[in-house]
Chains A and B, each alone.
Chain A
């Protein structure tokens, strides 16, 4: 029997929720372990097999000088590198620091700020090393994670649709919260993958999966205004878990007029 491909799971600045999605694959976990050698996954086991690895899943963003160095090491040991989640793919919620003054936060929050070594920005893994595939979501969808693992096992491209959340609303028969309730919702500009959970419970989409492949944020911002949102409220809508994704970052910047 040929050696099983080796998998490693890495954590950067993140909440661990995305790597837990792998452990959350309860029914499929034994099959996963049968097909691949889970060689380095500290959330699951302290037994670590040294690299190189055939597939690395990287969770989290780069927020410290140490992590900026460590991601280079991870890349060097990985034949394929897949980022999992909004942090690794867009900088995560912690990318809100990119719009603020990190030095000021450090002095305000920590009694001994000199012990804190941090960067002024939270950035995506792609900003540091080449990435083979980016799996979106806050958190990721475990079925999509299995699809990505399966795709890399069999040397094919993952089937992960990049269109809007609206398609998932319509497929599950959810009533549009924008049209029927006038709710602010990011669904039309957000990538699908979550199964449209929030709109199905009459909440607008929060944009957890980042921008869809053709996000018309200019038209959507104009419509959010007609729904009664003030410019700074619209900016906050775009600046959540995917604040650092280029299309949402630009939409948030554009939502408030210059000097506003």
Chain B
């Protein structure tokens, strides 16, 4: 019986039957695919759409695709897209208002005809990010209807990382690389001389359902330890680390640190970090009226705390300077997110580091703030500097 908690193995050659199972269950499969020199997320119709034999080299401010010689389907690290684009779309119509001739309005919600989505290839840090956004959009008192609908019907087909990228630090943030929760199926790609298999761990009955027609055998203890070895190798090869000890207090007692001015001189206020971030959820709503103003559409679009207009109140922006905006972002992400949502807002995926055009690295900024803090706050009982 394919039950939650069970583990199985199927050969690479049978991967199409997993895709067929997802399709038969009514899912639109979205996952990794190569486009414009990067591995992005898009519709997956066949194994040929996956980034077979591709990987990436990432550093602060640079990303390059590279070939690998083992034909891995998931041998890359996270790229410029995140799954939030499916659950929290970049632009979304919330409703249409039409004057009905009296003093009132007719309200029409947008059509709800999207098929449920299967997220294929989602990594541990990305599951953590999705669960954070779940709390933001549906965890509070007024759940977001569109997000909730899409989240309810999604199927999570995770992949455990077999390697880490140059900007990865999920180990520091406690979010990966092992996939431990929040999945329907969890895959581990096992590639050794003479072998290319997938280890699949079943998380839910929905996950079990799509495996019904996949020819597979029960996993042996050797298969499981081969999977664990791959994940352990990823854990040992993190490109970045961040010391999170007391980071909430350290950041909040350094709101006037000279580090903010320094990073503000380098920061472009371009918003790339926040829009690449899988947990950043800031948005603006705007009314789009027709010329007669008889009909108005309300749209929501991704916005960013790095935009001048984002904090604009009557007659001006609260955060007019770039240092103020960077401080707002970093202190929210790593500190006040705990107060607001009960966790860090950072999952250690490294996207903000890779996709910052000038390579600003939040792990380095936190180190700089700690260093300045250590200079300013003498150790207990020690002499003042």
A residues whose Cβ falls under 8 Å from a Cβ of B: 28, 31-32, 34-35, 146-147, 149-150, 153-154, 159, 161-164, 166-167, 170-176, 178-182, 185, 187-189, 202, 212-214, 216, 218-220, 223
By beta carbon, the residue of chain B nearest A162 is B309
Name B302's contact: one of A146, A171, A214, A223 (CB within 8 Å).
A171
Among B63, B64, B271, B304, find the residue whose CB has the most chain A CB atoms closer than 10 A.
Answer: B271
Q: Identify the stretch in B138-146, B200-208, B262-270 within 8 Å (CB) of chain A at 4 or more residues.
A: B262-270
- Whether the pair B269, A164 counts as a contact (CB closer than 8 A) is yes
Interface residues of B in 206-250 (CB under 8 A from A): none
- Whether the pair A150, B266 counts as a contact (CB closer than 8 A) is no
Name B272's contact: one of A159, A173, A176, A202 (CB within 8 Å).
A176
- Whether the pair A176, B289 counts as a contact (CB closer than 8 A) is no
- In the complex, 25 of the A-B residue pairs with CB atoms within 8 angstroms, ordered by the A residue number, are A35-B291, A146-B291, A150-B293, A153-B291, A154-B293, A163-B306, A166-B275, A167-B275, A170-B90, A170-B275, A170-B276, A170-B302, A173-B81, A175-B36, A178-B61, A181-B37, A185-B357, A188-B357, A212-B269, A212-B270, A213-B309, A216-B268, A216-B269, A219-B267, A223-B357
Q: State the Cβ distance, A194 to closest chain B Cβ, in Å.
A: 15
Quick check: is B40 within 8 A (CB to CB) of the other chain?
yes
Contact A163 to B291, CB < 8 A, known contacts A176-B80, A176-B355, A219-B265:
no
Which residues of chain B have C-beta atoms less than 8 A from A35's C-beta? Answer: 291-292
- Whether the pair A31, B271 counts as a contact (CB closer than 8 A) is no
- Whether the pair B269, A214 counts as a contact (CB closer than 8 A) is yes
Which residues of chain B have C-beta atoms less than 8 A from A182's C-beta? Answer: 62
Quick check: is B339 within 8 A (CB to CB) of the other chain?
no
- Whether the pair B290, A150 counts as a contact (CB closer than 8 A) is yes
- Whether the pair A179, B355 counts as a contact (CB closer than 8 A) is yes
Q: State the Cβ distance, A228 to closest chain B Cβ, in Å.
A: 13
Contact A172 to B90, CB < 8 A, known contacts A163-B271, A180-B63, A219-B358:
yes
- Whether the pair A188, B293 counts as a contact (CB closer than 8 A) is no
Quick check: is B195 within 8 A (CB to CB) of the other chain?
no
- Whether the pair B322, A150 counts as a contact (CB closer than 8 A) is no
- A23, B193: Cα distance in complex, Å: 65
Which residues of chain B have C-beta atoms less than 8 A from A180's C-beta? Answer: 36-38, 63-65, 80
Among A154, A172, A178, find the residue whose CB has the most chain B CB atoms closer than 10 A.
Answer: A178
Which residues of chain B have C-beta atoms less than 8 A from A189's C-beta? Answer: 268, 270
Interface residues of B in 331-371 (CB under 8 A from A): 354-358
Name B308's contact: one of A163, A172, A216 (CB within 8 Å).
A163
Quick check: is B149 within 8 A (CB to CB) of the other chain?
no
* Interface residue count on the B side (C-beta < 8 Å): 47
By beta carbon, the residue of chain A nearest B356 is A179
- A97, B65: Cα distance in complex, Å: 43
Which residues of chain A have C-beta atoms less than 8 A from B304's C-beta? Answer: 163, 167
By beta carbon, the residue of chain A nearest B79 is A175
- Whether the pair B37, A216 counts as a contact (CB closer than 8 A) is no
By beta carbon, the residue of chain A nearest B308 is A213
Which residues of chain A have C-beta atoms less than 8 A from B322's C-beta? Answer: 214, 216
Contact A179 to B85, CB < 8 A, known contacts A31-B292, A214-B269, A216-B267:
no
B287-319 interface mask toward A, CB cutoff 8 Å, 1 = contact, 0 = none?
A: 111111100000001111011110000000000
Q: State the Cβ distance, A98 to closest chain B Cβ, in Å.
A: 26
Which residues of chain A have C-beta atoms less than 8 A from B272's C-beta? Answer: 166, 170, 176, 188
Which residues of chain B have C-beta atoms less than 8 A from A34's C-beta? Answer: 291-292
Which residues of chain A have C-beta atoms less than 8 A from B276's C-beta? Answer: 170
Contact A164 to B268, CB < 8 A, known contacts A181-B37, A182-B62:
yes
- Whether the pair B62, A179 counts as a contact (CB closer than 8 A) is yes
Which residues of chain A have C-beta atoms less than 8 A from B91's C-beta? Answer: 171
- Whether the pair A161, B309 counts as a contact (CB closer than 8 A) is yes
- Whether the pair A164, B291 counts as a contact (CB closer than 8 A) is no
- A147, B290: Cα distance in complex, Å: 9
- A164, B303: Cα distance in complex, Å: 11
- Whether the pair B309, A223 counts as a contact (CB closer than 8 A) is no
Contact A175 to B357, CB < 8 A, known contacts A31-B292, A161-B309, A167-B302:
no
By beta carbon, the residue of chain B nearest A201 is B36
- Whether the pair A219, B266 counts as a contact (CB closer than 8 A) is yes
- A161, B356: Cα distance in complex, Å: 21
Contact A154 to B37, CB < 8 A, known contacts A178-B357, A216-B268, A219-B266:
no
- Whether the pair A179, B357 counts as a contact (CB closer than 8 A) is yes
- Whether the pair B357, A171 counts as a contact (CB closer than 8 A) is no
By beta carbon, the residue of chain A nearest B292 is A35
- A16, B355: Cα distance in complex, Å: 38
Q: State the Cβ distance, B237 to closest chain A Cβ, in Å.
A: 21
Q: State the Cβ distance, A125 to closest chain B Cβ, in Å.
A: 24
- A191, B62: Cα distance in complex, Å: 23
- Whether the pair A163, B309 counts as a contact (CB closer than 8 A) is yes
- A213, B24: Cα distance in complex, Å: 49
By beta carbon, the residue of chain A nearest B37 is A180
- A149, B290: Cα distance in complex, Å: 10
Quick check: is B253 within 8 A (CB to CB) of the other chain?
no
Which residues of chain A have C-beta atoms less than 8 A from B354's C-beta? Answer: 179
By beta carbon, the residue of chain B nearest A187 is B270
Contact A164 to B270, CB < 8 A, known contacts A149-B291, A153-B291, A180-B36:
yes
Which residues of chain B have C-beta atoms less than 8 A from A187's C-beta? Answer: 270
